[in-house]
Amino acid sequence: MGIRFFYSKNEGSQAVPVLRSLPVFSVQRIDESMISSSEFLSNSQFVVHIWGTWCAPCITEMPVLLDTARLPSNSQTKYYLIAVNDELKLIRKFIAKYSLPSNVEVLFDVNNVVMDKFGTFKVPESFIFKAGINKAKLVGPQDWDKVNLNSLYFN
């Protein structure tokens, strides 16, 4: 595990993230109401974590991700956990095992558009945003307890 970044070269040959800003999409909350990605922008810093209940690495990393979200140093960061290629009843059953911190929202990609919008081919993948601008793409399961979001991306 570890952090992997994906960048492209722009005209000035400076590395920039392939996905530059938050794409437009809608997903479903666990209570079945819909939320638009534009609502994510009410948070100055947030993580979009793409996962699935069928994904073994996703299941393994989830407790550490939730513990990391609970840390006082991450209290200002919102975590949007978007389950893809899944079923709402399985997501509810999986999440019921955990006590979710107040800065975590579990969502369901009912329209199956999120992976395409983010250019994701396999899960888990996470995207770090500040003011709607993508700061990093983290590919694969992460050692969340070793990732200091504040010093790496939010300063």
Identify the band that residue 155 occupies on the pLDDT scale cut at 50, 70 and 90: low
**Residue 1 clears pLDDT 50, i.e. is over it:** no
**Domains, the chain, ordered by start:** 7-153 (3.40.30.10)
Structure letter (DSSP) for residue 24: P
pLDDT in tens, 34-51: 999 999 999 999 999 999
What CA–CA distance (Å, rounded) separates 153 from 90? Answer: 33
**Residue 83 clears pLDDT 70, i.e. is over it:** yes
Distance (Å) of CA 146 to CA 85, 127, 143: 28, 16, 5
- Output the pTM of the full model: 0.87
What is the four-CA torsion angle of 153, 44, 30, 106, rounded to 10 degrees? 10
3-state secondary structure of 100: coil
pLDDT of residue 18: 66
